[in-house]
Amino acid sequence: MLFGIALLLASATLGLGSEQLPLSTDHSSAAATASDDAPSYRSELLSLHKSLVSIPSISGNENEVGNFVVKYLTEKGYDVDIQFVPKRNNTQTDRERFNVVAWRGQGVPRPKVLVTSHIDVVPPHIPYAIDDGPVTKKTMIKGRGSVDAKGSVASMIVALDELVNEDKVDGNDVMLLFVVGEEVAGDGMHYFSDSLTKMPHPPAFDAVIFGEPTENKLACGHKGGIFCDLAAQGFGGHSGYPWLGKSANELMVRAMAKIYATDLGSSELYGNTTVNLGRFNGGVASNVIAEHATAGIAVRVAIGPEKEGGAIVQQRIQDILDEIDDEAFEFTCHQAYGAVDCDCDVEGFETDTMNYGTDIPNLAGNHSRYLYGPGTILVAHGARENLTVGDLETAVEGFQRLILHALEK
């Protein structure tokens, strides 16, 4: 096997059944084309997208959607390998989670291009829904993962399938990779990347195409990130005599105010480094000086280089904490990387930069990197996650152009 891991195709082994077949889009092909110039693949694309979005796959619990992807690709004629990813934490279910690797060629694959996205989503699960009436390019589709990133997964699969069926690409030249865990720690991509270093003859990808919501623009890069826990230690007392105690809450508020007011790093391409205080907890009662306080922050890093930019910003925050109180704070970051540059010099695409993080820095190697996909990040992770049929179809065409461009380089 390519990755030296089990290839499990039997339904009994993978827990696959008829319920995992693509779901109907509930619209006849006549209605789908009645008022729109529908591409030939529309029905297949919408059916696949509906199936993916309808299966809950919150990070850590990707088994069922992984099973579906394996079965779907196998029935399409792909060779499919699965790569088990170690259990992440105690909140994960007992069912195995795995990356899906697939190619559609003869013999041992020699992939020049890797096309990849993630099959996990953020909580909570939101059911699939589509506008009533005839399907047109303006028809809206809703549901968790419809944008981030099952829209990319569906568009990628259909794009490659069409290219292979039309003999525009050799199936051995392009590999699909769908990973788990991108929304939390990137452990799926980390595991795939590490597996390449253990292979005697690993694939030498010339290019990797990453699927994320970019509004079908080709991203020239995205901000880096640091994700940190912050704790403040004071000593308690009666709130009527605050000078006799040391309020951990006050220390945290002063520190965060200073962090927000400071230019932590900016660049012409990515703008300002921004900070989100996502969690803040401290104290036991309003009339007690808080002895302990904790916070969780996510910082979007606008400076490079990719390997060191995050550490530079982390040190700037540490300097602020030391200025407020050089003994009270404990500052721990779990991931830190600088701005991530991508290739975007491809004819026919609008370009932009993104403020979110991706799996791009988690995959080692010397290859061109493209970031592209349907839908906008502005609705991802929210209660109204949605995109249009036209978004998905445009993405199919976009992924095809990117694959052909990457193969021609």
Strand boundaries in 67-112, DSSP class E: 79-84, 98-103
The reported pLDDT for the residue numbered 110 is 86
Q: For residues 99 and 160, is the Cβ–Cβ distance under 8 A?
A: no
| Superfamily name with CATH number, domain 41-221+341-408 | Zn peptidases (3.40.630.10)
What SS3 string covers 173-215? HEEEEEECCCCCCCHHHHHHHHHHHCCCCCCCCCEEEEECCCC
What's the token pair of residue 35?
Answer: 């008022």
Q: For residues 11 and 71, is the Cβ–Cβ distance under 8 A?
A: yes
Q: Which amino acid is at 348?
A: G
Pairwise CA distance, residues 344 & 351, whole Å: 7
The reported pLDDT for the residue numbered 23 is 46
The reported pLDDT for the residue numbered 340 is 98
The reported pLDDT for the residue numbered 3 is 56
Pairwise CA distance, residues 323 & 350, whole Å: 44
**Angle between helical axes of 389-408 and 150-165 (0-180°, round to 10):** 60
Write out the residue limits of the CATH 3.30.70.360 domain(s) in the chain.
224-337
HSE-CB at 191 with a 13 A cutoff on CA atoms is 24
Residue 63, CA distances (Å) to 95, 96, 157, 402 in order? 6, 6, 19, 29
The reported pLDDT for the residue numbered 116 is 98
- Active site residue ranges: 182
The reported pLDDT for the residue numbered 265 is 98
Q: List the chain pLDDT tens, one digit each, 409 residues.
A: 565 443 433 333 344 443 334 444 444 333 444 457 899 999 999 999 999 999 999 999 999 999 999 999 999 999 999 999 988 766 556 689 999 999 998 777 789 999 999 999 999 999 999 999 999 999 999 999 999 999 999 999 999 999 999 999 999 999 999 999 999 989 999 999 999 999 888 888 999 999 999 999 999 999 999 999 999 999 999 999 999 999 999 999 999 999 999 999 999 999 999 999 999 999 999 999 999 999 999 999 999 999 999 999 999 999 999 999 999 999 999 889 999 999 999 999 999 999 999 999 999 999 999 999 999 999 999 999 999 999 999 999 999 999 999 999 7
Give the CATH number of domain 224-337.
3.30.70.360
The reported pLDDT for the residue numbered 95 is 83
Write out the residue limits of the CATH 3.40.630.10 domain(s) in the chain.
41-221+341-408
Q: Which of 215, 221, 225 is nearest to 338 (CA)?
A: 225
